[in-house]
Amino acid sequence: MATNINLCSNALVLLGDRPISSFSDEGAGAEAASNLYESCYTYLLGLHRWRFATKKAQLSKSTTRPANEWAYQYQLPTNLITLITTYPVSNYEIYGDKLYSNNQECSIDYVYRISESQIPAYFSKVCEYYLAMTFAIPVTGNSTRLQEMESLYLMHLKQAKNVDSNSRPTQGIVDAPLTDVRW
């Protein structure tokens, strides 16, 4: 089971540094991990529509009418990282923590900040290599290590996206208006 500490510790080991047992440990590795971890983790989650970090939610409509062209405003979930789509599918805009729409009701699919203990192994590996890439300069001062970690990160990211895409069946094209007009 992954934790923020063991993800960072594994990343440091990949760099040839010593593992950490907490963010308050001595050394450049623990300092880099404590300062950079959360933004790296959130960034990686928002980078792709990870199926393991996707949720559905019915949004709560605000009683206050928006002071713009939209008819309704909705409160977004506090753990939202990236909005995928709204239901019904329609135009919308996001301002701060509110979604504005002309729909009387609104549900969403979104990527959220999932606990590290719930991430699959393929994402743990991507996270470790991304952290190693990010920690490379602050910990080792070696740009060659950065390039090595970047290459490994990109390879693992590609593999993880492929594995993650298999979490949902492929959907065929239902409507083909350009071919429907042929005789």
Is residue 181 one of the residues assigned to a domain?
no
DSSP secondary structure letters along 87-123: ES---EEEETTEEEES-SS-EEEEEE---GGGS-HHH
Count up the domains in the chain and report the number: 2
Q: Do residues 41 and 60 both lie within one domain?
A: no
Structure letter (DSSP) for residue 175: -
Is residue 84 one of the residues assigned to a domain?
yes
Judged against a pLDDT cut of 90, whether residue 102 lies above it is answered with yes
Q: Domain of 123?
A: 4-49+115-165
* Burial class for 176, CB neighbours closer than 10 Å (0-12, 13-18, 19+): exposed
- Which amino acid is present at 78? T
Q: Do residues 8 and 41 both lie within one domain?
A: yes
Is residue 125 one of the residues assigned to a domain?
yes
Is residue 171 one of the residues assigned to a domain?
no
* Burial class for 143, CB neighbours closer than 10 Å (0-12, 13-18, 19+): exposed
Q: Do residues 127 and 140 both lie within one domain?
A: yes
Q: Do residues 62 and 108 both lie within one domain?
A: yes
Q: Do residues 58 and 98 both lie within one domain?
A: yes
DSSP secondary structure letters along 47-88: TS--GGGEEEEEPEEPSSPPSSS-SEEEEPPTTEEEEEEEES
Q: Do residues 13 and 28 both lie within one domain?
A: yes
Is residue 22 one of the residues assigned to a domain?
yes
How many Cβ atoms are within 10 Å of 13's Cβ, its own excluded? Answer: 15
Instruction: Give ∠ CA 51-168-170 in degrees, rounded to 5.
Output: 135
Q: Do residues 90 and 67 both lie within one domain?
A: yes
Give the pLDDT confidence score for residue 167 in this predicted structure: 79
- Give me 39's structure tokens: 């933004």
Q: Do residues 45 and 120 both lie within one domain?
A: yes
Give the pLDDT confidence score for residue 5 in this predicted structure: 97
Q: Do residues 124 and 100 both lie within one domain?
A: no
Q: Do residues 40 and 124 both lie within one domain?
A: yes
pLDDT tens digits, residue range 38-91? 999 999 999 999 999 999 999 999 998 888 899 999 999 999 999 999 999 999
Give the pLDDT confidence score for residue 68 in this predicted structure: 85
Is residue 89 one of the residues assigned to a domain?
yes
Q: Do residues 59 and 104 both lie within one domain?
A: yes
Give the pLDDT confidence score for residue 168 in this predicted structure: 72
